[in-house]
Chains A and B, each alone.
Chain A
C-alpha cells in the first residue's frame, strides 16, 4: 500500500499539474449500460445476481462509465482523471497471473478543440509520468487509425478485411514479420502481393520526417484518409517538439507508516509521562507512536523503530524528568542529544 500510495501521488500530481478534475462512478452499472460495448470480451463481465431489482454488472473498464457520465450530465467539455478498480472474469488458463480485480488509471480530454493540441498534451502527460516514476528508459509509439486504414487501402486490402488484418499487424510486437505475414495470407486470406506491400510500410519508424516522406510517397498519397492522418501526425510532432517530448535510485526501505517520533521510556512506571508527551506531539501535528505497554523494555521500543523506519526516538527517564529534559535520539546514528522538555517540540 505504501508503494501504491507513492505511485498514485506521482501520477495524480501530474494530472493536477495539467489541470485535470477528478470524478468517480459506482462499482456496478446497469447491465444494459455495459451491453454491446465490449464485443467478444462481454463474456468476461461479472454480473450481479438477480435479487428482484435492476440487473447490474461490475464495471469492466472506466471508459464506458465515463461516456455514460458525459451523456447523463450533458457534459461537452471536461479534462478528467479516474483511478479505480475494474473487474474481469479472465480465464486463468489463458492469462496466467492476471488478476480479476485490478486498478485502471485513466486520463481523458472530452470536447471539441483545435486539432492535435489535447492529443499532444496526453502524450506529454505519459512522458512526465513515466519519467517521474523512474521505471527506466521508455518509448512511446504513435500511429493513426486513418493512416493504417489508408495504408491497407492502397496496399490492396479489401475493405471488409481491414479490422482483421489490423489485429494481425498488431501482433508485430510479439511475433516476427514472417509469422505475421503468414497469418495474414494463410489464416486471413490476404493476397501475397498485398501482404508484401504492407510489409514495406510497417517496418518504418521515425518522427516528423517519416510523416513528411509518406505524404510524398506515390502510393500513400493516393489515400485521402492517410493524407489527413499524416498531416495531423506532422502537426502532432510539432506540438510534441514544443512540449519537449520528442526525445524519450538507491533502494530505499519502503515504510508503511510515516511516524516521525517514537516516545519511549528507559525505566518502569513512566507510562503517564509517555502518554502525556505523545499527546503533546500529536497536538503539535507531529506523527508519533507510543508502545501499548506500561513497562516496555527500551530495547523493544528501539527495535520497533528500526523495524518501522521511525527516524527519531524521544526517551524519557527518571533523571531526565527531574532535570526537565528529554533525550532525543537519531535511530540510525544512535546519536543522542538532551533537550529541555519545551524545546524538544520545536526540534
Chain B
C-alpha cells in the first residue's frame, strides 16, 4: 500500500496527464480513461474526504443504450426478425458463458481475446465469443440433425483498443443458420435470398453480395502452383484485395509469404474475375481450372446456386467474385459477403482474417453481412464425430445500428422513444381524479396513454410534454366539458380540437390512431 504522500504525488502527476490530454483535445475515451485513474487515486485518500468516490462509468468497450438508441434498435430487429420468420426460422438462445473447454481451440489466434471468468471454485467459464460455436454445441448436445434457426444476442471480445479504434468489446451478433443434410445449394440460396431481403428492407442504400467457394479457391491455388501448406496464408493475403491494390497484395504474397512470382501472376489472372453463372461456366471450360476436381465441384455447385438465385429473383445484386476469401477456417463450401456500395467515412476496424468467423462487427469498410457453408464444425463437438452440415449468415448489426443512428441524427424526423398515443390532460385545477379515471379507461381499452404525476399541472406543461415526446393526441378535461359529458380531443401538431362525447371517446381515438 503506497503511503499518503506517494498517493498525493501520483494524483498530482495524473492531474497533469489529464490536463495535457484536454489541451491537446485527445479522444474522449482517452480522457475518460485517465480521469478514471485520477479518481481512483483520489479515492484511495477517501477517508479524509468523508465521501466515497468511485468511478462512474461502464466497463471499457461497453456502453449503455439510451431510449433513442433502443428505439432504433427495436426497429432494426423487427425488420430482421420478421424476415427470418417469413422464412420459417425458429429462435433459440444460449447462455452468455460457456465452459472454457467448449470454446478452446475453436478460434485460432483470436483465442487471446476471450473473456474468462475468475476461478471461484467451480467450473472454468468464458464469455461467448460468437454464436456459431454455441450453436454447434447446442446441435451436438441435443442431437439435432435439422434446424433452421436465428439467434440475436451479444458476444464478447477483449479487443485491444489501439488496434481497433471504435470497436466495442460487447456487441450484437445476428445469426441465421440452416443445419441438416439437404439437396445441394437450396438452403445456401435461401440464405442469400434472406440477406437480399434484409438489406433491401433496411434501406441502407445499394449493396452487392459477393459469392465464392472454398473449393474453387483451393482448386485455383492448386492449379496456380501454390504449395498446399501455403493455402491458408495465401488465402488471407488474397482476402485483402478489398482494401489493398493488386500490386500490394502480389508483393505481400511474393515477399512476405514466399510465393513464386509465377504462381502470384497466375493467381492475379483469376482473382480479377467477376461475373455470374456465365463466369462459372467459363471457368469449367478453362484449361487450367478444369484440372482441379475440387474447383470443378465448386463451379458446378456455383452454377446450380445461380439457377436457384434466378428463381428467387436476387441475381441483380449477387456477384461471383474470385477474390472473395474471408477467414476460412470453418468454411467448406460456398462463402459470401455483402457490402454497401456507397460507404461514408467509417472508423476502420482492422479485418481479422485468421479467425474462422462469419462476420465480425466492422470487419471491413462497407461490409454488412457475411457467411458460408461449414460442414465440419458440429462434428468437432459430437462424441461420435457425427457431421451435421450447416450454412448460415451473420448480419453486421452494429454496423447497421450506427448507420441508422447517423441517419436519424441527420434527418429532421424525430425518433420517438415511447409509443404513447394519447396524453390525458386537464385545463383547470382539482381534476386529478377525472384524469386518472379516464386514463385507466383508455388503458383498459388497450390504448397507449400517459398522465402527468401532478395533482394540478399547468396545461402548457402537459402540451409541452406531448411536443417533446411526439405524442400525437391530447384528451383535455375541463369543468364545463365534464358537465356536458364531453372531452376535448386535440391533435397536437395542428392544434385542431373537437369535442367528443365521453361514451364515444375510446372509439374515436382508436379510429384516429389506426390511421396514423
Contacts and interface: CB of A to CB of B under 8 A. Distances in A.
Interface stretch (B11-19, B324-332, B375-383, B440-448): B440-448
Contacts of A56: 59
A51 B158 contact: yes
Contacts of A101: 95-97
A8 B417 CA distance: 18
B92 A26 contact: no
Interface string B32-74: 0000000000000000000000111111101111110011001
Contacts of B437: 242
Given A29-B59, A33-B54, A282-B86, A51 B115 contact: yes
Nearest to B420: A19
B453 A23 contact: no
A60 interface: no
Interface stretch (A68-76, A222-230, A327-335): A68-76
Interface string B384-427: 00000000000000000000000000000000011110000000
B58 A1 contact: no
A24 B89 contact: no
Most chain A CB inside 10 Å of its own CB: which residue of B63, B92, B453 = B453
B90 A256 contact: yes
A208 to B, nearest CB: 15
Contact of B449 (A17, A46, A259): A17
A22 B67 contact: yes
Contacts of A286: 86
A294 interface: yes
A244 interface: yes
B44 to A, nearest CB: 12
B311 A49 contact: no
Contact of B86 (A48, A111, A285): A285
A89 B122 contact: yes
A133 B162 CA distance: 49
A87 B446 CA distance: 34
B193 A282 contact: yes
Interface stretch (B134-142, B181-189, B353-361): B181-189
Contact of A259 (B56, B88, B115, B312): B88
Contacts of B419: 16, 19
A275 B306 CA distance: 13
A271 B54 CA distance: 65
A73 B454 CA distance: 25
Contacts of A124: 440, 443
Contacts of B420: 16, 19
A18 B453 CA distance: 12
Interface stretch (A112-120, A147-155, A164-172, A177-185): A112-120
B197 interface: yes
Given A1-B92, A256-B90, A24 B64 contact: yes
Nearest to A22: B70
A24 B92 contact: no
Interface in B173-232: 178, 180, 182-183, 186-187, 189, 193, 197
A23 B120 contact: no
Contacts of B446: 17
Contacts of B450: 18-19
A279 B311 contact: yes
A239 B435 CA distance: 11
Given A19-B418, A294-B183, A47 B70 contact: no
Contact of A242 (B58, B63, B433): B433
Contact of A279 (B64, B312, B432): B312
A28 B62 contact: yes
A19 B449 contact: yes
B164 to A, nearest CB: 15
A26 B455 contact: no
B65 A24 contact: yes
Contacts of B189: 275
Contact of B54 (A18, A32, A257, A276): A32
B436 interface: yes
B448 A47 contact: no
A248 interface: no
A53 B449 CA distance: 46
A288 B83 CA distance: 11
A72 B56 contact: yes
B103 to A, nearest CB: 14
A283 interface: yes
Contacts of A239: 436
A89 to B, nearest CB: 7
Nearest to A87: B96
Contacts of B118: 46-50
A293 interface: yes
Nearest to A85: B96
A142 B115 CA distance: 43
Majority SS at the chain A contact face? mixed
Contact of B182 (A28, A72, A287, A293): A293
B90 A275 contact: no
A114 B454 contact: yes
A25 interface: yes
Contacts of B122: 89
B149 to A, nearest CB: 9
A138 interface: no
Contact of A117 (B116, B117, B186, B453): B453
Nearest to B201: A285
Nearest to A28: B59
B183 A292 contact: yes
Contacts of B56: 68, 71-72
Given A24-B64, A272-B311, A5 B91 contact: yes
Contact of B67 (A23, A71, A111): A23
A282 B88 CA distance: 11
A72 B183 contact: no
A292 B90 CA distance: 16
A61 interface: no
A194 interface: no
B129 interface: no
A287 B71 CA distance: 25
B353 to A, nearest CB: 24
A114 B64 contact: no
Contacts of A275: 186, 189, 308, 311-312
Given A282-B86, A287-B86, A24 B70 contact: yes
Nearest to A65: B64
Interface in A54-100: 54, 56, 58, 68-69, 71-73, 80, 85, 87, 89
A239 B444 CA distance: 15
14 contacts: A16-B420, A18-B450, A22-B74, A27-B96, A48-B118, A58-B96, A71-B56, A101-B97, A113-B454, A124-B443, A243-B439, A259-B85, A275-B308, A288-B86
Closest 9 CB pairs of A and B: A113-B453, A292-B182, A26-B62, A21-B67, A289-B88, A19-B450, A242-B436, A24-B65, A47-B118
Interface of B: 54-60, 62-67, 70-71, 74, 85-93, 95-97, 115-120, 122, 127, 154, 156, 158, 170, 178, 180, 182-183, 186-187, 189, 193, 197, 308, 311-313, 417-420, 432-433, 436-437, 439-440, 443-444, 446-451, 453-455, 469
Given A50-B118, A288-B86, 14 more contacts: A1-B92, A16-B418, A23-B66, A27-B96, A29-B58, A32-B54, A58-B117, A72-B58, A101-B96, A120-B436, A242-B437, A279-B313, A283-B313, A287-B87
